[in-house]
Amino acid sequence: MSLSPSHSDHHTPSKGHAGLPFSRPPTPSVHTPVIGWVGLGAMGYQMAKNLATHSHSHPAGSGPVLVYNRTASRTEALLKELGHKVRVADSPAQIALECDVIFTSLGTDEAVKSVYAAFKAALENAKLDKPKIFVETSTIYPTLAGELDSLLSSIEHTHFLTAPVFGPPAAAAKSQLVMVMSGDYRSKKVVGYLVVPGVVKKVIDLGGNVEKAPTFKLLGNSLILGSIELLGEAMTLADKSGVGTDNLYEFVKDFMPAAPFLNYGKKMLDNEFDGSKGFAIDGGIKDATHIRRLLTAHNSPMPVIDIAHQHLLTARALHQAEEAKGVAKNEILDWSALVAGSRVAAGRPPFTYEEETKVVKE
């Protein structure tokens, strides 16, 4: 994958100054922008909620946020929770037509393509008298960003930004996400002003090329996924050798207190792999697949991601087998459940310590 030369990099920040300034954009619009949000999954729900709450008292966006989700129960839940701070749209097309700043948070590249095709169809014959900014926050393969930018570029007064985020749903709920953003600089200023600090705590500006933020997102996720894989292997060895996973976790807290080690180590320690409260394993498999594709495109090997991908698939297969027997503990697995691959290889049960404890004591 190469970064498309068609997207300018005129505003690439110098090294050491990646943060985007969040002063009010110059010559602000005379009207209050209407904000829209498409996609209310585990991350999107929390981000949309915070945006609606924040924008309701925000000088740049005091009206209700117009929201859409394919599964209506999610929009109904948000409406029940926030009341007049949100409105529910009938379709992505309605959001494209009525809103000035449109955020998307979707689970797969295919879903992203479908929604943006609906945006394009809705706007093709519309007469726009003011700018629209589309903000794609999903984790997508970088070349798709270029495709979406080209798709919208034929529509007058539209701008497209990529703005994926780092952090689990719990961090999203607390507005503690970090956003990486690339695209038109003025649009980034407008969006940055809307989302900091109500939705994210920080934005890293990666310049004008819209493919750079998705690339950075996959790079960051490779570090997180690699950390989870290493942690899973170490936790398995701690259990198998009898030194204790609890002792290893205490060591992690004292000497390696990075968020992935602390958060996912606790899940492995407690065998709490509920994906509805974290990052679902299907998303982890999608991201691992994208990372491996990116590595192949750049001839840049990263063996830990290959192993993590295998263990994610193993964990999902084991979970599906438990579901078929009616004994699965969780409806959806968190991606930290990849530890199941290491456990099974070491002769341990995949999702529990019960049998191991008996062996150690005997």
Can you give the pLDDT at residue 27?
A: 55
CA angle 162, 128, 145 (to 5 degrees): 20
Local mean pLDDT, 10-residue blocks, the chain (362 residues): 37 44 55 92 96 74 87 97 96 97 97 98 90 97 98 94 96 96 95 95 96 98 98 97 97 95 96 94 98 98 98 98 97 97 97 60 44
Can you give the pLDDT at residue 147?
A: 98
What architecture is domain 216-346?
A: Orthogonal Bundle (1.10)
Place of tokens 């930290």: 336
Can you give the pLDDT at residue 240?
A: 95
Can you give the pLDDT at residue 26?
A: 55
Can you give the pLDDT at residue 23?
A: 55
Between the alpha carbon of residue 258 and those of residues 93, 140, 180, 254, 279, the distances in Å are 42, 25, 20, 10, 17
Peptide bond into 21 cis (omega under 30): no
Tokens of 80: 């029940």
Tokens of 285: 């498999």
Domains of the chain, by residue range, sit at 35-208, 216-346
Can you give the pLDDT at residue 125?
A: 86
Q: Supply the Cα-derived Rg of the chain in whole angstroms.
A: 22
Tokens of 219: 């790079």
Report the Cα–Cα distance between both ends of the chain, in Å, rounded: 54
Between the alpha carbon of residue 81 and those of residues 85, 163, 244, 314, the distances in Å are 9, 26, 43, 38
Q: What CATH number belongs to 35-208?
A: 3.40.50.720
CA angle 193, 34, 27 (to 5 degrees): 50
Q: Check if 35-208 and 216-346 are the same fold.
A: no
Place of tokens 């922008």: 33
